[in-house]
Amino acid sequence: MVSKVLALQGQALVLRIELGYVQPTIHRTIVVPSRITLPKLHITIQNAMGWLGGHLHEFIINHVHYGVPDPDYPETDLQSQNRVRLDKALGLSGQFEYLYDYGDYWLHQIQVLEVMPFEGPLDSPWCLDGANACPPEDVGGEPGYMDFLQAMADSDHPDHSDLKQWYGDPFDPAAFDLQEVNERLMQIRL
């Protein structure tokens, strides 16, 4: 009985995830257990931001790069993220980075806003706040995204019809649906 009670207690981290180099600012504020593993955190960031997960990623925490090492590139300094817990990797640091898609180079700055105790189940991550839509996958990084926004907003732009057809839907850069984000996050079991 005691072990079950202890399993329902712990520390939670409130993290602010901000996509770098993009204006207006795209961010999410999420709550995760401090003991979350980096593979689970990767999935959490993907779902919170709205990425589809089709590209490589890495975490940069205290100057150590964690991810999924590629045996074809043994010379890289990438440490395996498997079984690495966020609280252990962070130590006393209150910030780290997450890089998604080496081609588009989506660098996310992540700040620990608060460390708080919790009692009871923290079965899945939770999003508290956010702003603006995630850029489309494979749009070409920050410069491609800025060009995409200009073309999509101007029906007279020479690339408007091609990009509209490529994307397939209207794109609202200000769109953010907290309930939709939390529905995606509830699919993650911690």
Taking a C-beta distance cutoff of 8 angstroms, is the pair 37, 85 a contact? yes
| pLDDT, mean over the chain | 92
Residue 119 has pLDDT above 90, yes or no: no
User: What ranges do the domains of the chain cover?
Assistant: 2-133+174-185, 136-171
3.10.290.30, 3.30.1660.40, 1.10.12.10, 3.20.20.70: CATH of 2-133+174-185:
3.10.290.30
Task: Return d(Cα 29, Cα 129) in angstroms, integer.
Answer: 5
Task: Return d(Cα 8, Cα 37) in angstroms, integer.
Answer: 17
pLDDT digits (tens, 9 = 90+) for 35-85: 999 999 999 999 999 999 999 999 999 999 999 998 877 777 899 999 999
Instruction: Give residue 190's pLDDT.
Output: 84
Instruction: Give residue 188's pLDDT.
Output: 95
Average pLDDT over residues 162-180: 95
Q: Distance between alpha carbon 32 and the CA centroid of its chain, in Å? A: 12
Task: Return d(Cα 99, Cα 82) in angstroms, integer.
Answer: 17
